[in-house]
A and B are shown apart, each in its own frame.
Chain A
Amino acid sequence: MTAVSIRNVSKVFNQGKPNQVDALSNVALEVKQGEFVSLIGPSGCGKSTLLRLVANLLEPTSGEVVVNGKSAAQARLDQDYGMAFQQAGLFDWRTVRKNIELPLELKGWDKSKRSARADEMLQLVQLPEFGDHYPWQLSGGMQQRIAIARALAAHPPLLLMDEPFGALDEMTREYMQGELLRICAATGTTVVFVTHSIPEAVYLSNRVVVMSPRPGRITKVVDVSLGGERSEDTRNRTAFFEAITAVREGLRGMHAAHVGLGNDDR
């Protein structure tokens, strides 16, 4: 079963104006259910744009995005996905528990059901004692775990993440990667993950999609054959380094042509 199907999608910003940008050109990608797919590429390659098309926060200029067998717009209305950003984006005025309950409130769940689910999510991200804290009382890594709990609170089959660990230090980042894999294994969630980091993409993913800018397109798809069970030892395995090399070559292939032209893709 296909979780996300991106069919010949193009996205042009400011069409017909002097500042026209071809953010994506003829992109096609299929993500299977339960798969973990990373989008990697230099700034301006359209990976965040692609994620926003799947989330239906943007409409494609041409082509079609199908999520869970329905249009991206319908999938958004049905809350078929959860989303996490680089900034945890928790609401300062709500307790951690109330932050996790936000999507459930918007779905119109009653109080006891929300509360039970919040407890479950706090257990899942292993912060059960922090429910009544306020977000600003938590460290950056903890905030990001709460953001993941919020994204998964409604048990969506799909999780969309835009550089969620980009603002964390290296140690916290590797810890969070392990946590994310554990959570996804426990929930069977499909993940589309945008990152700048090659080791992060390889460690997490079943497949790494390498993208290039101007116009944004997919240049290479690297299958990562590390198996389902991954631990800290995975980072020392030969297959890990081979996959890193493969992704790096994919990036370098187009980097030669585009060096120094990068501007931010958001």
Chain B
Amino acid sequence: MTNVVRRAAQRTVMFVAALALVAVVWETYKAVGPEDGGTVLGVRILPRTSEYAMPHVWDMFSRFSRPEVRGSERTVLDAVTAGAWYSFRLSVAGFALGALVGVALAVLMARFKVVQRGVLPYLVVSQTVPLIALAPLVVSWGGRVEIGAFVWPRWLSASVLGAFLAFFPIAVGTLRGLAAAPAASVELMQSYAASWTKTLFKLRFPTAVPYMVPAFRLGASASVIGVVVAEISTGLKGGIGRLIIEYAREATGDPAKVYTAIFGAAALGLVMAGAVVAVDVIVMRNRPKEAVS
């Protein structure tokens, strides 16, 4: 257990160190880079270092504690936290939906080879559709699609787009995991005359866990991306994506502000992925350490 704690501490230190390094690089370039950027044959290849293009790192952080708009009680931190919390809930919904669809598809593909051959290529194709193109379509369902008493709320569109990105790595990773059961174990279950369903739950799913965890982690961050992009491209109110566009519009007067929203979005992705890792640690606590792929 002490090893686990030490590794976690090491990782945290490395994470903070990497962040600090990025900040140092940013500030160093800002200090030594040309004010007007560098141009070669009229094409700008180095960014400008002016206060408007590259605000100081400390300005970005101090911006959190100042009011969102002049004379307001509400700080940027409050606004970003509220926006991130809203987007977080949409992302969790998207992730849950994506996981449900992904695992169901993986089970169907593992059960029926025909389904796998027929469906898998389309899954790959689905991921080449640009999300930005899809977003307005899905968002337009908001308030228009009615199924009985159910009226499609606008936020659900953002979650669906999150799910659209999340389900793919989950389906592929789970499928690989379900197929990873050793032949001898499958024979053993056969020798017990165990049904396919019993083999699935008692053998295939437990074997698949080490494959499913990295897939779910990818799915969790993909869901955040889907939700934030959907918010940005459709201007859905309340989330971190909307804050990013709003703050970006103020970039000429208040360049540090937009970075606060970007940090909020990054933190959101980290929290989502971290939650999956936490579940992983709990689920895998009794497994041999070397069996984890």
Task: Assess whether B185 is in contact with A57, with CB atoms less than 8 Å apart.
Answer: no
> Residues 38-79 of chain A: 1 if any B CB is under 8 Å from the residue's CB, otherwise 0?
000000000000001001010000000000000000001101
Neighbouring A residues of B288 by C-beta, 8 Å: 92, 134, 136
Considering the complex, which residues of chain B in the window 159-192 have a beta carbon less than 8 Å from any beta carbon of chain A? 182, 184-185, 187-188, 190-192
Neighbouring A residues of B192 by C-beta, 8 Å: 79, 102-103, 106
Any B CB within 8 A of the CB of A91: yes
Interchain CA distance A78-B62 in the complex, whole Å:
72
Comparing B51-59, B140-148, B198-206, B240-248, the segment that makes contact with chain A is: B198-206
Interchain CA distance A93-B288 in the complex, whole Å:
9
Interchain CA distance A93-B198 in the complex, whole Å:
16
Task: Assess whether A57 is in contact with B206, with CB atoms less than 8 Å apart.
Answer: no
Any A CB within 8 A of the CB of B46: no
CB distance from B156 to the nearest CB of A (A): 36
CB distance from B187 to the nearest CB of A (A): 6
Any B CB within 8 A of the CB of A241: no
Task: Assess whether A77 is in contact with B193, with CB atoms less than 8 Å apart.
Answer: yes
Partner of A76, one of B182, B185, B188, B191: B191
> Residues 83-119 of chain A: 1 if any B CB is under 8 Å from the residue's CB, otherwise 0?
1011101011100000000110110000000000000
Any B CB within 8 A of the CB of A193: no
Any B CB within 8 A of the CB of A81: yes
Task: Assess whether B193 is in contact with A85, with CB atoms less than 8 Å apart.
Answer: no
Task: Assess whether B184 is in contact with A76, with CB atoms less than 8 Å apart.
Answer: no
Partner of A106, one of B184, B187, B194, B206: B194
Task: Assess whether B187 is in contact with A85, with CB atoms less than 8 Å apart.
Answer: yes
Interchain CA distance A134-B142 in the complex, whole Å:
51
Q: Please tell me the size bucket of the interface on B.
A: 10 to 19
Any A CB within 8 A of the CB of B287: yes
Neighbouring A residues of B291 by C-beta, 8 Å: 92, 136
Any A CB within 8 A of the CB of B286: yes
Chain B's closest residue to A147 (CB) is B188
- Knowing A93-B206, A93-B287 are in contact, say whether A87-B191 is a contact too (CB < 8 A): no
- Knowing A87-B184, A89-B184, A91-B203 are in contact, say whether A57-B190 is a contact too (CB < 8 A): yes
- Knowing A93-B206, A102-B202 are in contact, say whether A83-B287 is a contact too (CB < 8 A): no
The A/B interface has a contact count, at CB < 8 Å, of 52
Task: Assess whether B188 is in contact with A83, with CB atoms less than 8 Å apart.
Answer: yes
CB distance from B289 to the nearest CB of A (A): 9
CB distance from A85 to the nearest CB of B (A): 5
- Knowing A83-B191, A106-B194 are in contact, say whether A91-B185 is a contact too (CB < 8 A): yes
Interchain CA distance A83-B193 in the complex, whole Å:
12
Task: Assess whether A91 is in contact with B206, with CB atoms less than 8 Å apart.
Answer: yes
Task: Assess whether B286 is in contact with A57, with CB atoms less than 8 Å apart.
Answer: no
> Residues 179-205 of chain A: 1 if any B CB is under 8 Å from the residue's CB, otherwise 0?
000000000000000000000000000
Neighbouring B residues of A86 by C-beta, 8 Å: 184
Interchain CA distance A171-B287 in the complex, whole Å:
29
A-B residue pairs in contact (CB < 8 Å), sample of 10: A57-B187, A76-B190, A81-B191, A87-B184, A89-B184, A91-B203, A92-B291, A93-B209, A106-B192, A136-B288
Knowing that A85-B187, A85-B188, A91-B202 touch, tell me 14 more A-B residue pairs with CB under 8 angstroms: A52-B187, A55-B191, A57-B191, A76-B193, A83-B191, A86-B184, A89-B184, A89-B185, A89-B188, A91-B206, A93-B209, A102-B192, A106-B192, A134-B286
**What are the nearest 3 A-B pairs in CB distance?**
A136-B288, A93-B206, A83-B191
